[in-house]
Amino acid sequence: MSVVKPFTRQDFEAGEKKLLREGHAANASVYLFEKDGRQWTVKDFSRKSFFVKTFLAAFLFWRELKAVRALSGLEGVPSAGFRIDRFAIAVAFVPGISLAKAVQEGSGRMTVTLLESMESLMNRVHKAGLVHLDARGTGNWVVRPDGSAGLIDFQAAVNTRILPAKWRRALEDVDMSGVLKKWKEFQPEAMGSEREARYRRGDQLRRKWRIKGYFGLRK
């Protein structure tokens, strides 16, 4: 039985869309697209090289859509997603402004309340059995309209449910170090000894990691 998709490639090409990021080399072009009153983030590899759009795209799409399904119902992350065709996927758009923009507007936007929201969201992602592994910068964080944190772009995410407990804890520490790095930068006096210790532990583990890019811990 075929599943009816919210929109097709034809709908996407014919409709109005906003380019959010022009992907270079092996990165998808990312668009904001609206259909029937719902906003979607579209990742499109159709104009990339044959190898990238045929092989790499398939792997990244499988990885991200699997993560989105695992996070279904969780506030602050993409709640739905589907394959448009072989070369593109759509995931539910998380509204708000990027954390990168918030930081540019002044460190006052990086309040303890926002940092606590980021920490809470990361803990809920971990509880769902995933590590994000690309949350160290500001590009994949969103400040939502209600002031809470959002987290996007799960194409580097790893399912931890099948991993030994020790490995899972290590990956979660590395993941959380991306949040705690922002505590250390913007609200160091409010961190406390427990966060400081976990930051050092996660950062030390991260520095030992040798694989970068899609299969590592940062791009």
pLDDT per 10-residue tile (average), the chain, 219 residues: 82 96 88 96 94 92 95 94 96 94 76 96 98 93 95 94 95 96 95 96 83 44
Tell me the two tokens of residue 67: 């993560």
Q: Which pLDDT score, from 0 to 100, does residue 3 have?
A: 62
- Nearest-angstrom CA–CA distance, 156 and 170: 16
Q: Which pLDDT score, from 0 to 100, does residue 119 have?
A: 98
Please tell me the number of Cα atoms within 13 Å of 33 on its side-chain side: 24
User: What is the SS3 assignment for 178?
Assistant: helix
Is the C-alpha dihedral spanning 118, 114, 81, 8 positive or negative? Answer: negative
Q: Which pLDDT score, from 0 to 100, does residue 4 have?
A: 80
Rg (CA), the chain: 18
